[in-house]
Amino acid sequence: MRGTVIRRGDASYEEARLDAVWNARKPDRFPDVIVLAEDEQDVVRAVRLARAEGLPVSIRSGGHSWVGNGVRDGGVLVDLSRLREITVDAGARTATVQPAAKGPAVQEALAGHGLFFPTGHAPTVGIGGFILGGGYGWNSRHLGPACLSIRAIDVVLADGTLVHATDETHPDLMWAARGSGPGFFGIVTRFHLDVYDRPTTIVRTVHSYPLDLRDEVLAWSYDLLDQLPTTVEFSAKIGFTPGLDTRTVSLTATAFCTPEHGPEALAPLEQAPFRDRALRAVVGQETTIEELYDIADRLNPEGLRWAVDGIWAEGPAEELLTAAAPVLDTIPDGTSFVLWMLWGHYPPRPNACWSAQARAYLSPNAGWHDPEADLAHENWVHGSLAAVQHLSKGLQFSDNNVADRFDLGLSAENAERLEKIRGVHDPDGLFRTYMAPAESTTAYAVSRRP
């Protein structure tokens, strides 16, 4: 092993365990062994070690799972945080990226070639969990969820072999990799990705309105989506607004311009019937991906305890907003907010299990400091969403820990097929799959146990 094998009781164990989770809300779960892999062969060795010791395997890439999914009780945690290589083949319009690479490094490697990838919104998110879980990144409405850009993967399987999987050689594995999130049964050591033309410019409009306009703004934005080309990413945030000392409902539209769709795509926002009531407005301002990363980083700052959940939903805007009132009316003070992401529909593909989406995505994000306040915030995040459940079209694996609030992250048909494929590739259940309620150590999960 070129990397390090750390066992429970070793001096460096606790540091390695805590480092595996970006969130300040760390899980009370303790792996038996943590392997800090140095390269792909170390990943193979880690899987063989787990097999030899009869231990299950969990995985950490960027460590951004909100619940620290990789940190499980017992077993071997394979920590991939040192696997960050990126290579670009500009002629082929492809890139290979190791799982712990972060969005800004990927963008930087591509920028020199005039290329782009829909990396995650926060600069610190790892590519590994992001892509496998769907991957709703910058310009994803146009370029698709990131998982659909996977051309091939290098993956260590349950039998301890490292294979290069493509749609031709391993169609079932590739289908599963495109969207199964923490339910994937293998360790991806390298993603081979399609990459795209860099936007000609990126232009942004942001309107912040007083909270009393909340439902009017949200309903209007829901209907406006049809007038915006997919090159415009469009969302609202309700609650905490970085840079303003009052809570607002803020609309943000970001145009990733192409020769066909320029900044004029943002013009309809200026026709909002409540436009003159904006507390702050940025109109058609040119920006950069670096600046977008900086803005996103300020929305979910590091060092707080974070709980996040989300539901894909659609229906008449009024019905949706009435159902969502328990979430929207009770946003905790401080840095918490609700994301109202307007998505629409991206064409699903038969070679991908990714299958949960809707016109809008409603996602409460709670951020706080005091551990005593865990339950109150988690009750808001998971408990209040129950009021919208009847309109749910599923969840995003990236945001939801199915152990805290169960919902389907794939269509029922794809969820069933995934389990059949798992049975073939990982018959003994070496890899941990979706977390069960009994494994969750959140105050919310504990409070609901009999």
Ligand X SMILES: Cc1cc2nc3c(=O)[nH]c(=O)nc-3n(C[C@H](O)[C@H](O)[C@H](O)COP(=O)(O)OP(=O)(O)OC[C@H]3O[C@@H](n4cnc5c(N)ncnc54)[C@H](O)[C@@H]3O)c2cc1C
**Which candidate, 171, 152, 172, places its Cα nearest to that of 162?**
152
Bridge partners of residue 211, in order along the sequence = none
- When binding is defined by CB under 6 A, the residue of 63, 118, 199, 239 that contacts ligand X is 63
Site string for ligand X, 399-428 (x = CB under 6 A): x-----------------------------
- When binding is defined by CB under 6 A, the residue of 75, 129, 179, 394 that contacts ligand X is 129
CA 440, 121, 95, 192 dihedral sign is: positive
Q: How far is the CB of 59 from ligand X (least distance, A)?
A: 4
Site string for ligand X, 269-308 (x = CB under 6 A): -------------------------------x--------
Q: How far is the CB of 325 from ligand X (least distance, A)?
A: 26
Looking at residue 102, the DSSP 8-state letter turns out to be B
Structure tokens, 345: 């529909």
130 scored as a contact of ligand X (CB under 6 A): yes
Alpha-carbon gap, residue 124 to 133, rounded angstroms: 16
Choose between 272 and 445: whose C-beta lies nearer to ligand X.
Answer: 445
Site string for ligand X, 103-122 (x = CB under 6 A): -----------------xxx
16 scored as a contact of ligand X (CB under 6 A): no
- When binding is defined by CB under 6 A, the residue of 27, 118, 126, 179 that contacts ligand X is 126
Answer yes or no: are the C-beta atoms of 419 and 441 closer than 8 Å.
no
Looking only at residues 374 through 403 of this chain, which bind ligand X when binding is defined by CB under 6 A? 398-399
Alpha carbon 4 to chain centroid, angstroms: 28
Alpha-carbon gap, residue 251 to 162, rounded angstroms: 45
Strands 311-313 and 360-368: antiparallel
312 scored as a contact of ligand X (CB under 6 A): no
* C-alpha torsion angle, residues 363, 367, 372, 375 (rounded to 10): 0
The amino acid present at 256, given as its one-letter code, is F
Alpha-carbon gap, residue 383 to 393, rounded angstroms: 18
365 scored as a contact of ligand X (CB under 6 A): no
62 scored as a contact of ligand X (CB under 6 A): yes
Alpha-carbon gap, residue 135 to 151, rounded angstroms: 15
Choose between 223 and 291: whose C-beta lies nearer to ligand X.
Answer: 291
Choose between 43 and 323: whose C-beta lies nearer to ligand X.
Answer: 43
Q: Which residues here bind ligand X, judged by CB under 6 A?
A: 22, 58-66, 69-70, 80, 99, 120-122, 125-126, 128-130, 132-137, 182, 184, 187-188, 300, 398-399
